[in-house]
Amino acid sequence: MNEAYIRQLLESVEKGETTGAEALESLKTLPYSDMGFANIDHHRAIRTGFPEVIFSQGKKPEQIRDIFVELMGRGQNVMATRATQRDYEAVKARIPEAVYHETARIIALIEKDKDPDSGSGSAPMGTVAVVSAGTADIPVAEEAAVTAEILGNEVNRIFDVGVAGIHRLFDRLEDIRRADVVICVAGMEGALASVLGGLVDSPVIAVPTSVGYGANLGGLSALLSMLNSCANGVSVVNIDNGFGAAYMASVINRKVSTAASEAAEK
């Protein structure tokens, strides 16, 4: 349930198309609905601008399916991250229109016609360049890219341009500089984030990945390198957290887009 839905509901009551009792019934589960094994936060889109997202890891396929069904009834985009093929089969059995992005491990349902505030079906809030250091980083990069698209951004994927062959990065530098926000996904020593931070004037959100040999320590070395970046304008999310990076990029673009729209109306 989002702001647009509540606005439409109130207008419907004002016009006499919906009774007060019917409106009250619709609003009863506004804060959240208790499913026994999960409390679904229907108020999140109003508070933060984006609906709740299902984190699939650790959940049973049937739990993911039931949460997905509950969320889709609110007329908003639904997304489940870190989902397996088995999770998808459970969701698809109830929701045939759901789509599985295998590399990103995301199950998505885009309600373009129902949710004008979700970012889909309208002009993008802004642009995001998702840059990966290596091909092995693509699964995390795709999680970021697909998430950013679902949240209403235009995404430019620029993969395998790490510092071991830095000339590849320079060939795509103008594309990267055109983005409003840059997401940098890198494992090994994570140097790409610092390089990008010194080359672009957009915010750089660095995502360390667990890609690398033993001393990479499951992504810890890349994380520490990114945290210690001498380049200004670089922020860092958790290891392999492509979703978190895309969410942050979307928050930035949404605020800028909203401010621009409000300024244009004055």
Domain C-terminal end among 59, 74, 109: 109
pLDDT given for residue 121 in this prediction? 45
Whether residues 142 and 243 share a domain: the answer is yes
Whether residues 131 and 53 share a domain: the answer is no
In a domain, 263, yes or no: no
- Name the 3-class secondary structure at 205: strand
Phi, psi torsion values for 109, nearest 5 degrees: -130, 115
In a domain, 122, yes or no: no
Q: Does residue 206 come out as left (phi exceeding 0), alpha (psi in the -120 to 50 range) or beta?
A: beta
pLDDT given for residue 71 in this prediction? 85
Name the residue with higher pLDDT: 6 or 119.
Answer: 6
Task: Give residue 152's domain range.
Answer: 127-256
Handedness of CA 50, 54, 57, 58 (dihedral sign): positive
pLDDT band of 14, cuts 50, 70, 90: confident
* Residues 180 and 186: beta-carbon distance below 8 Å: no
Whether residues 63 and 168 share a domain: the answer is no
Q: Which amino acid is at 48?
A: T
Average pLDDT over the chain, rounded to whole? Answer: 87
Question: Which CATH number goes with the domain that contains 221?
Answer: 3.40.50.1970
Cα atoms in the Cβ-side hemisphere of radius 13 Å centred on 220: 4
Q: Write out the two tokens for 194.
A: 């610092």
Name the residue with higher pLDDT: 13 or 121.
Answer: 13
In a domain, 262, yes or no: no
For the cut 50, the answer to whether the pLDDT of residue 112 exceeds it is yes
Q: For the residues 104-116, what does the mean pLDDT come to?
A: 74
Q: Write out the two tokens for 80.
A: 């489940």
For the cut 50, the answer to whether the pLDDT of residue 115 exceeds it is no
pLDDT given for residue 79 in this prediction? 93
Q: What is the pLDDT of residues 225-234, one digit of tens each?
A: 999 999 988 9
Q: What is the pLDDT of residues 185-232, one digit of tens each?
A: 999 999 999 999 999 999 999 999 999 999 999 999 999 999 999 998
Domain C-terminal end among 76, 109, 142: 109
Name the residue with higher pLDDT: 258 or 142.
Answer: 142
Sheet holding 204-208, edge to edge: 154-158, 127-132, 181-186, 204-208, 234-236
pLDDT given for residue 104 in this prediction? 95
- Name the 3-class secondary structure at 131: strand
In a domain, 266, yes or no: no
Maximum average pLDDT range among 5-14, 40-49, 109-118, 144-153: 144-153
The β-bridge partners of 79 are: 108
In a domain, 50, yes or no: yes
Q: Report the domain count for the chain.
A: 2
For the cut 70, the answer to whether the pLDDT of residue 34 exceeds it is no
Whether residues 59 and 170 share a domain: the answer is no
Whether residues 171 and 99 share a domain: the answer is no
* Residues 157 and 127: beta-carbon distance below 8 Å: no
> What does the alpha-carbon distance between residue 45 and residue 116 come to, in Å, rounded to a whole number?
12
